[in-house]
């Protein structure tokens, strides 16, 4: 029986000796590795913050004091010691505990998180609210060096320095966000580590001067401040955080429990905003994760002994995108790729290796990524911004103002469109067809399979009239390759099946599902027409209206919320035409979808081939 078996809450952690805490950290790491090897998950991020997690819960009176985890993918140790150790084997599974903080799971989870950059704003708001209500609760934001470059994080730092509120920012600096952190801030943090001598010298001198008689102490400290300004410019290249109004503490060894506990113990007594710079190693304690931290940022199941994936899997949309990008860049030197800290996740690793000067990783800054792409387009380049659907929402203003309003030929490669599976509601990309569809001048495509994605990307690079978005899901299509698909033409759909007893108009991945559903119906004696829309915007108006003349009911199918989605656009077109045809739309309900296998989620939403076939049979009047 290990120490971890006796931990039911942070109160149990606070009763442990330093030696016991070190032993506990090892047990926690072992549990994280064994569980993520079976279930998949964010292995490396959580391994890197085990000691930091223990120190925060040891020093702060959680859950009365609040810890706000930025992104939250590093929260596994936090979950284990806050009463979820017995359920940790259900991590990221259907009905199990989430891979991110979730308020419904525990009072220790302050906020449902999954995106970066918001922790400081939330912690600051909570601290101000507590002050106004007369509460003595303390708030801590834990943010990584990859996330702190987000514009929202800087906005919060600026406001916190102005308000002078009691709030602590724990900067987890592992030189990584998802891949290696990039940009000037990453370099700044690396340089600041070499300034540790300065910070200790400053603290020791300040305390020593305070021991002088009061009249001498004040004057000496004024002189010391002037000396400090010159000294820090010699030893520390920048004083960014202090100029923003924060007291800077660190760098602190993020794997030295004694130093962490002592540091946060002192910081808890300070007033005003404090930033504690904690230096950690992503993947700490598990050799494969330390050697390949980018790969182990988020993994599927893997072999514990070797770290190798348990399954190689089949073709994916992401893989097809990456392969096609390399091909297109080899033919056209204007093609450049932009990613917001997600080079591996968006399939651009080979592109980075082949064309390092044409791959721009801007860090976790989607707004900047889109506007940066606009600038590249102004200069005559053909920028492709590769971003997950759930994260593109943060750059919507730039899509509208800097790309579409300017009619610039920027390509948005929108990965993970639809239900993504085990990462749950913060990561499901189910809103993009709605929020992109409302923007004038933006062509929106959705491929049925991997080959069609390649053809659409080639079309988008050649398209000169304005911006294009290509939206595709996680994983592969599972569709058989079509020998002679019709070429991609602006606003033109493709008829995949021709039948006389019903009509289905599908978008993207759902086109393949609709074909399989139609095959099921055919075995039941019902022949339906299936159309691969290809373009969500502009719609193939002539084809849709001809179908409205031919069929009394048109069914649309999409992996997007129905509000403002593909079906709504088709329904509006038919209604404005004055035709009598009725449009029935199948898609995702107006709610947040839970975590679980992608296939299970689609079935629950009635979007599996079998469930769709049943719905179509009922809709077309054949019981």
Could you tell me the end-to-end alpha-carbon distance of the chain, in angstroms, rounded to an integer?
60
Distance CA 401, CA 467 (A): 12
Say whether 94 is catalytic. Answer: no
Task: Single out the catalytic residue among 84, 232, 394, 474.
Answer: 394
Residue 225, φ and ψ in degrees, nearest 5: -60, -45
Return the number of other C-beta atoms located less than 10 Å from residue 229's C-beta.
9
Task: Single out the catalytic residue among 202, 232, 282, 534.
Answer: 282
DSSP, residue by residue, 278-308: EE--TTTT-HHHHH-TTGGGSB-SB-TTT--
Report whether 54 contacts 257 (CB < 8 A). Answer: yes
Return the number of other C-beta atoms located less than 10 Å from residue 114's C-beta.
22
Q: What six digits make up the tokens of 154? A: 């800087």
Q: At what angle do helices 609-619 and 509-523 cross, to 10 degrees?
A: 60
Opening angle at CA 269, ends 266 and 270, nearest 5: 95
Nearest CA-CA partner of 13 in 56, 63, 54: 54
Say whether 594 is catalytic. Answer: no
Q: What six digits make up the tokens of 143? A: 């943010």
Return the number of other C-beta atoms located less than 10 Å from residue 6's C-beta.
12
Say whether 196 is catalytic. Answer: no
Task: Single out the catalytic residue among 51, 294, 366, 450.
Answer: 366
Buried b / exposed e across 258-289, counting CB within 10 Å, b at 16+?
Answer: eebbebbeebbeeeebbbbbbbbbbbbbbebb
Nearest CA-CA partner of 143 in 164, 123, 163, 165: 123
Q: What six digits make up the tokens of 614? A: 């049943």
Distance CA 36, CA 89 (A): 9
Tell me the sheet residues that pair with 277. Answer: 171
**Residue 347 CB partners (closer than 8 Å, separation 6+):** 316, 318, 319, 320, 321, 322, 323, 325, 386, 415
Residue 63: asked if its preceding bond is cis (omega within 30°), the reply is yes
DSSP, residue by residue, 413-450: EEESBB--STT-TTT-B-SHHHHHHTSTT-EEE--SSH
Q: At what angle do helices 541-550 and 566-577 cross, to 10 degrees?
A: 70
Exposed, middle or buried by CB within 10 Å (0-12, 13-18, 19+), for 576? Answer: exposed
Q: Residue 169 belongs to what H/E stretch?
A: strand 167-173
Nearest CA-CA partner of 510 in 557, 447, 563, 459: 557
The residues carrying an active-site annotation are 282, 366, 394
């Amino acid at each position: 029986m290990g120490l971890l078996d006796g931990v039911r809450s942070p109160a149990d952690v606070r009763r442990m000796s330093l030696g016991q805490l070190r032993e506990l950290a090892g047990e926690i790491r072992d549990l994280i590795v064994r569980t993520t090897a079976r279930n998949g998950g964010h292995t490396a991020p959580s391994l890197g913050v085990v000691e930091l997690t223990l120190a925060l819960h040891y020093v702060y009176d959680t859950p009365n004091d609040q810890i706000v985890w930025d992104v939250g993918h590093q929260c596994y140790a936090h979950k284990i010691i806050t009463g979820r150790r017995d359920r940790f084997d259900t991590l990221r599974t259907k009905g199990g505990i989430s891979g991110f903080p979730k308020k419904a799971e525990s009072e220790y989870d302050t906020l449902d998180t999954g995106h970066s950059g918001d922790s400081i704003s939330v912690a600051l708001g909570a601290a101000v609210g507590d002050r106004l209500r007369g509460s003595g609760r303390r708030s801590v934001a834990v943010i990584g060096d990859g996330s702190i470059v987000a514009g929202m994080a800087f906005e919060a730092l600026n406001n916190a320095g102005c308000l002078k509120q009691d709030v602590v920012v724990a900067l987890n600096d592992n030189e990584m966000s998802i891949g290696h952190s990039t940009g000037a801030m990453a370099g700044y943090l690396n340089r600041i580590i070499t300034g540790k001598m300065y910070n200790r010298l400053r603290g020791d001198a300040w305390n020593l001067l305070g021991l002088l008689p009061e009249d001498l102490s004040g004057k000496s400290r004024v002189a010391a401040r002037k000396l400090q300004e010159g000294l820090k410019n010699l030893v520390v290249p920048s004083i960014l955080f202090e100029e923003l109004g924060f007291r800077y503490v660190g760098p602190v060894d993020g794997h030295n429990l004694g130093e962490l506990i002592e540091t946060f113990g002192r910081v808890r007594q300070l007033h005003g905003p404090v930033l504690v710079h904690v230096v950690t190693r992503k993947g700490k304690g598990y050799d494969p994760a330390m050697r390949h931290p980018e790969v182990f940022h988020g993994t599927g199941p893997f072999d514990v002994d070797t770290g190798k994936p348990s399954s190689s899997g089949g073709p994916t949309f992401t893989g097809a995108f990456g392969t096609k990008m390399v091909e297109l860049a080899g033919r056209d030197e204007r093609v450049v790729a932009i990613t917001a800290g997600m080079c591996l996740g968006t399939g651009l690793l080979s592109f980075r290796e082949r064309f390092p000067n044409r791959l721009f990783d801007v860090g976790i800054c989607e707004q900047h990524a889109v506007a940066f792409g606009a600038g590249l387009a102004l200069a005559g380049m053909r920028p492709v911004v590769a971003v997950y659907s759930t994260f593109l929402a943060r750059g919507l203003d730039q899509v509208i103002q800097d790309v579409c309003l300017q009619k610039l030929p920027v390509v948005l490669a929108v990965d993970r469109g639809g239900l993504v599976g085990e990462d749950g509601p913060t990561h499901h990309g189910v809103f993009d067809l709605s929020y992109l569809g409302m923007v004038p001048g933006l062509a929106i495509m959705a491929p049925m399979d991997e080959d069609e994605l390649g053809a659409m990307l080639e079309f988008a690079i050649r398209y000169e009239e304005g911006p294009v978005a290509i939206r595709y899901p996680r994983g592969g299509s599972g569709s058989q390759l079509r020998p002679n698909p019709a070429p991609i033409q602006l606003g033109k759909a493709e008829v995949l099946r021709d039948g006389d007893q019903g009509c289905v108009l599908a978008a993207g991945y759902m086109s393949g599902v609709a074909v399989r559903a139609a095959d099921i119906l055919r075995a039941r004696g019902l022949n339906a027409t299936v159309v691969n829309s290809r373009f969500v915007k502009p719609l193939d108006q002539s084809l849709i209206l001809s179908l409205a003349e031919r069929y009394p009911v048109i069914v649309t199918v999409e992996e997007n919320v129905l509000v403002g989605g593909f079906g709504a656009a088709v329904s509006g077109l038919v209604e404005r035409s004055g035709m009598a045809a009725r449009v029935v739309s199948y898609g995702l309900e107006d709610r947040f979808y839970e975590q679980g296998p992608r296939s299970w989620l689609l079935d629950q939403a009635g979007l599996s081939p079998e469930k769709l076939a049943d719905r179509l049979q009922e809709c077309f009047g054949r019981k």
